[in-house]
Structures are given as structure tokens and as C-alpha cells.
With several copies, the nearest count.
Chain A
């Protein structure tokens, strides 16, 4: 069900670690949906020098976190903020429809981490888009 890129990022996650002295930390997700994502940022001169993640969740959640951290490294905060869940999903060569919310989570986690940094710096947080756990849906059993 997953693309090769998803499986690659799941099996060999990039940036999967804690950054102990992170400048911004964002945590999103909800245990009902079964996904929690935490993103750590190291920021210098408005540029993301390092990014990492910890994730409790399915394959798509892990891969989305991994891909998202890759995508924001070296970007300015503004550029990173603009990275959409679609961009993450596309970079992963697609996600199953019911897993698209994982890429949304990644976008939200980036936003949360950036805002956490801004708040620490005494700045106004930027305005958050719509988040959702809309992918949650029923289960077929054996």
C-alpha cells in the first residue's frame, strides 16, 4: 500500500533523534488517531540549520516526519512554513488517501516548532492553518 519512498523513509528514517538544545520544539497529534509527532529545530539567522523528529505512529506518520525534516533543513523559517502537507505527500510519491492526514500532521508539527521558537524569542506566533484528524475512520476486521 505504501510507495517505495515511504517504505525507504520508514525503514531508514532521516533525522530521527532528539536535539537536546533545540531552539524550537513542536508536538502535534492525538492518541485517538494513533499518531503523535514531535519536531525539533535548530535555528540560526532565520535559517533552519538542523531538524529532527520523534514519532509515535504508523508507517506514513514516520515517513512524513522523516521527509518533512529533510525538506526544511537549510530553509528559512518562511520557506519552511510554506511547505504544505501536499508537498510532503508528493515528495513521498503519494500516500494512501486514508493516510494523507499524516502529512497534515507533519505540516502542523513544523508550524508548531516554528511558533515555539518565535514565542521563545518573544515574537508573535504566525497564524496556523486548518489542522485535522479527518483521516480517522472505521476498521475492517478479520
Chain B
């Protein structure tokens, strides 16, 4: 393989942990390694480091520090939010509203609850992957205890009208959770204006380390733990704190918040260049919303060809990308998000997701725009579905 280039365009799957973040974490492995729950002075640094990180996360989300609870990542935050509310409020009602395009960390959790007797409403989305606030309001029943709608979709980048949905939830006194894993560092997130009660984040999506995240829990909200044990995190989330990881989360979110608006502007420019260039390929279409989308997200369908093949050929050209989502290699499923947007199966298998990052340059985009058309043509020539007029042989 000609690996002259190495262009990473899969920042929705994960990001490079920024070297400054790693530097911030380093002292907490071997130097300030005390268990934050311990009394003695050498544990004080771990304790204050955690509280400092909590302040940074709270500041970035417009929350109070006592509302921030550290977890092992976005998946745990989503699981905890949903299962914790179902368990604490299940006596009041057993109906949960969510959408067809949530991340599997939400969808598979509510499916598990379904087996335990909860009823789930999966709201549809329009062709742009957008949930309508009206559909939320219509779905509310007397026994609805939770609404969970993601802030921004990980595949197509569509940004949901979460503030309006939050207002509806509040006016009906229903608890509202939002998975903001993809939004942090990309668009402003403020838990008060969003009217959310619970909000999930994951550090490795914005320059922090893998294996650490947080759940915002509004002050006064009743929620059961997901992990039982020691008295950490106000007795709500047990387990020795991942001190270096938490420090990394704090450093990363502070950094991401500081550079957000500038970065977003840059991303939008690069995104436009990339989208415009790719759409010159015949029979290609943009997935997701044209404007209400994450500044770094590009998701395109090329008719007649399949996703994995595109990725393999891009990889051979030094471009790291994904189809819809960073599936495990085990995956043969079409994207549930694209299906929900109304795409037929073969197209739901064939999208190309390119998610830009702070390191992405204009030269990268131009290189990609040089490679993709060739790759698409090559696969179209190979495909039994391609019509004659699009073949070169």
C-alpha cells in the first residue's frame, strides 16, 4: 500500500488524545497516585485534581460542579441515565420515548428495558434525520417517565431541536436525557438553556482519553446507581476514580471549549469544500441536514457501491474514514440511522462518513477529493448494480 499520506478523517469514532492532555494526565499515574478516598496528605493531590476537573466540566456545560459525575465513557453515561431513571421511577410509569437514530448505547439499553416490561416509543425522523418536537409532545403519555433524544447524531451529524424538546419535557414534568457525546467541542452545550436533566459526554471524542466520560445529573433529580460499591461520586457511582482519565477529561473539555468557535468556523469551511467537491460525483447525495449539522461531519451516499469496499480502498490511499459508524469488523448491518432517514437497504450499506478534526488541513481535503472519485468509479465498474452509462468498462 502506498502510504505516503496518512489522513485521519474519522474524528467521530475517536480523536487523538492531545499531547497537552496527556501531559496533564501523566503526573497522576506514578507521582500523585493516591486513592482520592484516602485521608492522608499524599492522596490530597488526587482529590483536588478530580475536583478541579469537575469544575472544568461543569463550566463547559453551564452546570454546577455537584451535578457532574464521572463515568467510564459515553456508553456508561447513557446506560446509567436510562437504567437509573427506569429503576428509580419505574413505579410511576413504564413508558420511555426515544428516537430511531440514537446511538446503540441508548437503543440497546431501552431494548433491554423493553424485555423487562417497559414500553418504548421510537420517534421517526425526517429525511434529514431530524426529530420534530411535535412528535415528542404527541408521544407523551401519562405513564411516560423519560425522554431521551441525542443532541447530535454520530453518523450524519444532524443537530436535534433539543432546547424545544426540553421545554416540552419540562412542561409535562418528564425527565429529559440527551446524549451529547458528539456535540462537545463542536457546538455550544448548555444544560440550562437545553432544559436537560441528564446529559452524557465522552472524553475521547474531543481530544481526551478513552475510557472516561461524565453524566450531568440535574440537582435534586432522583436516579439509582448503575454501579454499586464504594461511596465515591456522592455515593452515586462506585469504583476507585480513574484519576488520570478524569484529569484528562477536564483538560480536554477546557481546551475544546476554548477553541470551539474558532475551530467550528474552520471546520465549516473545510466541510463545504469537501461536500461541494464530492457532490460533483454523479449519483451522490449528502446524508443528514444541510445546515443543522455538526461542523465536522460529512456523510455521502454513492449509489451502487458498498461501504466497506470504499473504506478499504481509501485506506490503501492513506485515508481513514468510516461508513456511517465505526462498526466492529463483525458488522454487516446497514446503518439504522440511514434506514430511519428513509434510505433503501443497499444505500444504507454504502455511505461514506468523513469527520474532520482540528488537524485537518485544506491540503488533506484536496487530496481526498482527488482520491474518492477514482475509488468510486473503480467500485462502480465492479458492481452489478451500476447502470451502463456510469461504467468506464
Give residues in A with beta carbon < 8 Å to B.
1, 7, 10-11, 13, 16-17, 27, 31-38, 54-59, 61-62, 96, 98, 135-142
Do A140 and B232 contact each other (CB < 8 Å), given the known contacts A55-B383, A55-B384, A56-B304?
yes
Q: Would you call A142 and B13 a contact (CB within 8 A)?
A: yes
Closest chain A residue, CB of each to CB of B35? A142
6 closest A-B pairs by CB: A140-B231, A140-B230, A141-B325, A142-B326, A34-B349, A58-B308
Do A142 and B12 contact each other (CB < 8 Å), given the known contacts A31-B344, A56-B385, A58-B308?
yes
18 more contacts with CB within 8 A, not counting A1-B329, A31-B344, A58-B332, are A16-B382, A32-B345, A34-B306, A34-B307, A34-B308, A36-B383, A37-B384, A56-B304, A57-B306, A61-B306, A96-B330, A139-B328, A139-B332, A141-B104, A141-B154, A142-B13, A142-B37, A142-B325
Asked if B23 lies at the interface with its beta carbon under 8 angstroms from chain A, I say: no
CB-CB < 8 A to B104: which residues of A? 139-141
CB-CB < 8 A to B94: which residues of A? none
Q: Would you call B332 and A33 a contact (CB within 8 A)?
A: yes
Partner of B331, one of A10, A16, A57, A138: A138
CB-CB < 8 A to B325: which residues of A? 139-142
Do A141 and B304 contact each other (CB < 8 Å), given the known contacts A33-B332, A54-B382?
no
Q: Would you call B328 and A140 a contact (CB within 8 A)?
A: yes
- Which B250-281 residues have C-beta < 8 A from chain A? none
Q: Shortest CB–CB separation between residue B79 and chain A, in angstroms? A: 14
Q: Would you call B238 and A140 a contact (CB within 8 A)?
A: yes
Instruction: Point out which of A17, A37, A59, A138 has the most chain B C-beta atoms below 10 A from its C-beta.
Output: A138
Of the four ranges (under 10, 10 to 19, 20 to 34, 35 or more), the interface on chain B belongs to 35 or more
Q: Would you call A35 and B240 a contact (CB within 8 A)?
A: no
CB-CB < 8 A to B65: which residues of A? none
Do A141 and B312 contact each other (CB < 8 Å), given the known contacts A34-B332, A38-B384, A96-B329?
no
Closest chain B residue, CB of each to CB of A35? B306
When chains A and B are docked, how far (Å) is the Cα of A140 from the Cα of B13?
A: 11
CB-CB < 8 A to B393: which residues of A? 17
- Which B8-37 residues have C-beta < 8 A from chain A? 12-14, 35, 37
22 example contacts (A-B, Cβ-Cβ < 8 A) are as follows A1-B329, A11-B313, A31-B346, A32-B345, A35-B306, A36-B384, A56-B304, A56-B306, A56-B385, A58-B306, A98-B330, A135-B332, A136-B332, A137-B333, A139-B104, A139-B231, A139-B327, A140-B328, A142-B13, A142-B154, A142-B322, A142-B325
CB-CB < 8 A to A55: which residues of B? 382-384
When chains A and B are docked, how far (Å) is the Cα of A58 from the Cα of B332?
A: 9
Do A57 and B309 contact each other (CB < 8 Å), given the known contacts A11-B316, A142-B230?
yes
CB-CB < 8 A to A36: which residues of B? 346, 383-385
When chains A and B are docked, how far (Å) is the Cα of A54 from the Cα of B238?
A: 36
When chains A and B are docked, how far (Å) is the Cα of A119 from the Cα of B240?
A: 52
Q: Shortest CB–CB separation between residue B248 and chain A, in angstroms? A: 19
Q: Would you call B345 and A31 a contact (CB within 8 A)?
A: yes
Do A27 and B384 contact each other (CB < 8 Å), given the known contacts A96-B329, A141-B326?
yes
Closest chain B residue, CB of each to CB of A1? B329
Q: Would you call B327 and A140 a contact (CB within 8 A)?
A: yes
Q: Would you call B103 and A62 a contact (CB within 8 A)?
A: no
Contact with A along B39-52 (1 / 0, CB 8 A): 10000000000000
Do A56 and B37 contact each other (CB < 8 Å), given the known contacts A11-B316, A139-B231, A140-B327?
no
Closest chain A residue, CB of each to CB of B308? A58
Asked if B146 lies at the interface with its beta carbon under 8 angstroms from chain A, I say: no
When chains A and B are docked, how far (Å) is the Cα of A58 from the Cα of B310?
A: 9
Partner of B333, one of A11, A27, A57, A136: A136
Do A54 and B39 contact each other (CB < 8 Å), given the known contacts A34-B349, A137-B331, A138-B331?
no
CB-CB < 8 A to B35: which residues of A? 142
Asked if B5 lies at the interface with its beta carbon under 8 angstroms from chain A, I say: no
Q: Would you call B384 and A1 a contact (CB within 8 A)?
A: no
Closest chain B residue, CB of each to CB of A136? B332
Do A142 and B14 contact each other (CB < 8 Å), given the known contacts A38-B384, A56-B306, A58-B309?
yes
